[in-house]
Amino acid sequence: MLNLSPGSARVNLISMALSGKSVDFTKVISMIDEMVSLLKQEQTDDENKKTYCLDSIDRAEDEGKSLAIDIKSHKSSIAEFAEQLAATGERLDGVSKSIVDLDASVAKATKIRQDEHSEFVTVTANNAATSKLLGIAINRLNKFYAPALHKAAPKIELSGEDRIYVNMGGEITTAA
């Protein structure tokens, strides 16, 4: 099935080879040499790129491992902080409870102090009244038994309203 018709390229090549003419292949050889040189350069470039890529992959893996270690470290730190937060929350709850207890005891102590103060004021007022009453009683006894020690009651000058009150039978117990 070869096409051997008189105008085909194969026939022309065969006839030229048989006729013995030498063909100048220097241009083809120089092109082949350039192509070989170009392929060697591309091979060198490809090897450099491969080395660069392998180095980049190695660095990326190292960085990935480093980041994994950092992540693990941070996870453990987060766990520690979570434990500390929980402990702090428990302490805060305890402190809050103790504050509530303290507030209750302060309120109780305040009530006791108020009751004691009220009792003290009453007792002090009663003691003062008793002391004044005893002073009046001693002065009256001195009027009869020791007139030299008797102190005359100061003369009270009454206002118009008080005089009317006394004249109507009322008694004024305090100095006006």
Residue spans per domain, the chain:
24-152
Residue 162 backbone class (left: φ over 0; alpha: ψ -120 to 50; beta: rest): alpha
Question: What per-residue confidence (pLDDT) applies to 4?
Answer: 59
For residues 165 and 172, the answer to whether their CB atoms sit within 8 Å is: yes
Residue pLDDT tens, the chain, 176 long: 556 566 677 777 777 666 665 667 788 888 888 999 999 999 999 999 999 999 999 999 999 999 999 999 999 999 999 999 999 999 999 999 999 999 999 999 999 999 999 999 999 999 999 999 998 899 889 888 988 888 887 777 778 888 888 888 877 776 54
CA pair distance 157, 174, nearest whole angstrom: 12
**CB atoms closer than 10 angstroms to residue 90:** 10
Question: What per-residue confidence (pLDDT) applies to 3?
Answer: 60
